[in-house]
Structures are given as C-alpha cells and as structure tokens.
A and B are shown apart, each in its own frame.
Chain A
C-alpha cells in the first residue's frame, strides 16, 4: 500500500515521463525487437515465415559478408589510429600555445569544419580523388609524378583512399574532447612538472597523456562502435565497390534490405552486429571500470 501511495503521490512526474517513454518504446525498443524476431524469418517486406537459423547459416556461407568483415576491421583500426592520434596531437599543440589569441584562433579553425555536413565533405573528397579530373591526380601530373591513380575506383587502393578522407584528421569531436581533457589538467600539476624539469614531449608523455586516458578510452569505445556499424562512406561514395573492395557488414545489411528486399537476412546481419557491439562494449566497460 505504501508503494501505491508513493506512486500516486508522484503521478504527475510519471505523467510527464509517459510521452517520452512511449516514443522510446515505439521508436527505440520496438524496431530492434522486431528486427530480432525477423532475423529468424524470410521477411521480404510483405510476408515473413519462420525459418529458424537459416539466415545465420547463410551468413556463414556468404563470402561477400566474410570478406567485408576484413574490410571493416581494416577501416576500424585505421580509423582509430587516424581519428585519435592526430586529434590528440592537435589538441595538445593548441593547449600548449602560449598566445591566448592564437590558441583561440586555432581552436575555432579546428572546430569550424564540424558544421559542414558529412555528406558534403565526402562528396568533396570524391571530387578531389576523381581519377580523370580530380585535384590529386592533376597536381601530381603537374609535378611530373606518376598520376594515373584510380583512388576510390581502384580496388587496390580504395580502402586506403577511404582512410585518407578527412586528412589531416584533426578537426572534429575528438579534438574537442581531448582539448577539454587537457584543459581540465590542474595548473598545479603543470607547474609541478615544470619544476621537476618535465617539459615539452617529456611532460606530454608522462603527465598530460596519462591524465587524458579516460578521454582516450571513451574515444576508442565510440570509435569501435561507430566502426563496426558505420557505412556512410559506402552509401554516399562507393556502394561497396569497386566490385566488393570497400563493402562492410553494415553496407551489406543495408543493401540486402533496401536493394534486394531481403529484410530477414538483413535483420540477422544487424542482429549479429548488435551482439558483437554489445560484447565489445561490455568488455570495454569492464576494462574501464577495472582501471578506475
């Protein structure tokens, strides 16, 4: 009775929470639960018959999907390195600038590109990498260097070309997070380090870097989750090509659903990706907690 009374007393709060909860259940929880069910069916957009683990079995035999996992791992590892190393270094440089005006200038310059829509950035890079008319090949030709590179159209370099997008990989969320991390380092620590003779690279490696480990771990976790499921580049630029050179599981999932109406199979791919992300996130959280 006491519980019901407390519930009644708090009824207004529950009433205000209800719309949000309803939306969350409908748009946040129902779709993945529906996908979980349909992963075990031959859902084609109209009918769905239960077929058990047939979709999963097909996944294990799908050579395109298996090959795409290697592409995904390559892009994931390269993305973690480029996305974190350069923004970490960039944030460190800006943090250590003595002139506050220059510091503010570089902060704005590195953050400003974030307002450009991602699709625009991708299309811009596609234009730069156009084998016939793109700036890269044109500049190489003008310098008398080999210049007939296929970039995104060459299976041997398509994945590397994707990694190149965004060079020098400084601007963005990582820069902001690392800069905030550096700025949260107490001045006393920096002064103490100076007194001890730890300056420059030595201070960065022994003092600054260990103090932003939390931010690094966060970025790695976010990077892994994004890398496992992302397929924006494939959707906008390559369609998984040339051939299947840049296909990743997320792209194949999308393609199966919306190009071939194999929603059941796509749901199974999505379900497996979800399980993998869940497992990795769980391990990461344990790792972070243990460290703390």
Chain B
C-alpha cells in the first residue's frame, strides 16, 4: 500500500518540483549585503564609481581583559544593567561612514575569551577577524598561523591620529611584547590600573595610620590586622606575585635581557638563561621569593582558595585585596559595601629589607591588558588591511579614551589619552615611577616565561607550598622537573638558533 504506483508518481512530482524551485532560487551566499543597505550607501560613494559591490564584513569579537567591549542590550541604566555601553558601535558607525566598502559586525556576547571556543574557531578558520585572548596564548597561536603580525601596520602612520608618524608611537615600545619570532601580534586597547584596595575603617581599628609602602610596613600592617582578628589580605589573581618576583630577580634582568634588550626578559631570553645555567629554579633568589610569598600568605584567611575575595572584602571580612580597575569600579558602586575604602600601590622591596631588594616594578598600572588580534579569518577573507585600519581608528588617543572610559574599568592604552578621574592617581603614580626608571610590569615572570607545562606546575605546587602541603625543598625539586620538560618543549617548538645565544 505504501509503495503503490500512485504513491511513486506523487513522490516523483514532488521531488521534481523541489528540484526546479531550487534551481530557480538566487542561492546567495552569506556575505551578500542587503540591497537596501547597499542602495543607501551608494549616496556616499563617488558618482563615478561602479554599481555597489559586495561589502566586506569585518567581524569583531570585542572581548576584554576585565570587561568586554561588547554593546549592552540596553542603554538604560538599572541594577541589572549598571554600565550601559555602546561606544564601540558608535565608533564603528563613524568608521563605516569613512569606509562605505566595509561593514563592521560586532559580536555580543563575546566568544573568543573562552579559550576552548577560540581554539576551535581558530583551528577551523571561523574566528572573528578581530578577537581578544589572554596574552599568554599568542605564543602558542602564532606558530600555527592563527594570528597575524601587526608589524607592517605599526610602522605605518595612523591616519586618524593627528601628527602621528608611526602607529607604534602611540604606545610604550617596551610594553609591546614581541613573540618568539620578533613580531607583535596584538594591538593594545587598554591598560589596567592595579594595586590594593583597603578598608579604611579596619585600618583605623588596627591602628594603621597610613597605607604601607614597603614590605616591612606591609607585614607590620598584616600583624596588626591579625591582632584584631581580621584576615588582612587576599589575592584575586597573582599580580602581587609578579611584582615581587620581578623585584627579587631585578638584578638579574640586565644579565638575561640580551637578545632583545628592552627591559623585559622574553621567552627566548629566559630559555637561554635557563639553558646556560644563569637562571636556576633552586636559587637564592627563588628561595627569597617564596619566603616572602609565604610570609604574605600568613595573612590570608583559612581556606582562602575557595573564598570569593571580592565578596569577602565588600562584606568587611578581609581588610585588603589586590585589585584591578574593574574591582575598584565595582567596589565604588557596590551597595553591599558599608565602609570607606582607599587604594594603594603594591609594596616595594627595599635594599634594607632583602639582599635582593632595591629595584621594583612600576606601580599604578600593570601595563597593557586588553589587546586585540587579527586572525587567520581576516587573512582568508581578505579583510586584514581594513580590520587593521579600523583598529587604527579605535586607537587614536581621543577615540581610545571614548572606547575605554565609558566603562570605567581601565585606562586607555594610547599615549596621550585621558584616564577617568577614579584612576588618575594610579596613572600619576605610574608616570612618576616610569620617570624614575622603575622596571616594566612583568619584566620577569617565570610562570609565563617557563611555558605552559611549567606554568601549570607552578600554579598547583606554589599553592601546595603556601598551604603547607609540601616543603620549599620539595617545591623547588618538583618545579625543576617541570621546568626542564617545559623548556625542552619550548626549544623544540620554536626551533631557536642556539648559536645566537
């Protein structure tokens, strides 16, 4: 019954009709622009131009280090939407008027921040043309051709920045980290204000007159807070560790920073130092570093690994937390906070306090945070040049300030851009330290330089050490094993020319 002659005939007619209709349809691809958009754009196009051609679509995934730059769904401020934001769309519209041949599509919510998603998209060549990723990943991605170098664009003038001779002049050269092949694979968008937020009332209760400046004063403050039964400090990430490690190894940086002397030890320089025995995991400096880390951790609350540091601070359970711009903004706006707060930079290590003290990291900002990359998708679609041009537009001092300041979470990266009032003291501190020759943020940080395998081991083992699960000797032995494996892997991956060392 199901396969009767009538059924066969009906099926044949239906299939044939479908085939004919399919052949008659336009069968347009994904990139074809809407006819109405093309028609309206043609009024801006030179009258001598040909019929409107297909617009090049530049897809932007505007993630950020601490806050994304994606437009919010509404511009109405509310408890659920405390920071309405649309500036990137406004800037994109302005740029599109100057470039009628292109269209900017901004993804919201952002996706590439999630490394799992980014890897899948980059491997498939379907990532947005411009994406954000945490800086450490660029050294894994560029050898695979997933991200494009900016060097040729950085040497061009930025046509949107008045008087600019080279785009790279808008940035602190030493802060533009070069990858293993010597190229720059990102453009900075913002710089992160960084330091410590402290509870003024708890400080007063503990008898602390002024914010501590040196490590001695800091440990003293911790003891006073412990005396009144308050947890003194909590980390959110490991920013304070970075400043401490740089301070302890400051005297060695010049000895290692030889291949690309710029005040920062890059990965090849670090590998060279390790291979030549100039850097050793079990060294007096590293022992001093972990000793100071442990002393600082004595002020952490019990079980700190599972505590939300921010929440603990705003509810008055912890006196100090390390913080970056977004935490400072959130503390300012947080209705749960019932106390006065202040901000201060990380303490510095003096020569009197440690055999390795005397030189410290710039305070006030941790350098460039959000940085956007051009991907293999842009190369595949032929939109790389246009995407770079759009980034040039976004990064003039004036536009960079518009892009960043509306969110009140960071400082614009471009030199000459104004910061918001809340961050001006941090920015001023940074400028003073920069003049005084303080070391660049992250001038040396082994957990990153040692490669991902070492970084993993460091993350786990250093916490085990701070919590008392393993001794310092055991920590250094295990870290050395990981470092050796990790460095061998880096050398194999990058195929360094050791004769240059």
Contact = CB atoms under 8 A, between A and B. Distances in A.
A241 B307 contact: no
A242 B305 contact: yes
Nearest to A154: B303
How many B residues touch the partner, as a band? 35 or more
A63 to B, nearest CB: 7
A259 B115 contact: yes
A258 B120 CA distance: 10
Interface stretch (B67-75, B213-221, B460-468): B460-468
B306 interface: yes
B144 A150 contact: no
Given A240-B460, A241-B460, A243-B469, A151 B306 contact: yes
Contacts of B306: 126, 129-131, 150-153, 237-238, 242
Interface in A36-54: 44-47
A132 B456 contact: no
A243 B478 contact: no
A133 B315 contact: yes
A64 B460 contact: yes
Nearest to B140: A261
Contacts of A262: 452
Given A130-B307, A153-B305, A241-B305, A260 B456 contact: yes
A171 interface: no
Contact of B119 (A45, A64, A153): A45
B116 interface: yes
Given A132-B301, A150-B306, A244 B317 contact: no
Contacts of B304: 131, 150, 153
A261 B119 contact: yes
Interface in A1-34: 12
Contacts of B461: 243-244
Contacts of A45: 119-120, 122-123
A109 to B, nearest CB: 30
A152 B469 contact: no
B300 to A, nearest CB: 10
A279 to B, nearest CB: 29
Contacts of A247: 460
Interface string B470-484: 000000001001000
Contacts of A260: 452-453, 456
A167 to B, nearest CB: 18
Interface string A242-267: 11110100000001001111100000
B496 to A, nearest CB: 18
B327 to A, nearest CB: 17
A130 B306 CA distance: 7
A149 interface: yes
A172 interface: no
A46 B317 contact: no
Contacts of B469: 155, 243, 245
A260 B137 CA distance: 9
A71 B144 CA distance: 36
8 contacts: A46-B144, A64-B457, A129-B306, A133-B315, A243-B305, A243-B467, A261-B119, A262-B452
Given A64-B457, A149-B303, A240-B460, 7 more contacts: A132-B231, A132-B312, A132-B317, A154-B467, A155-B467, A260-B456, A261-B140
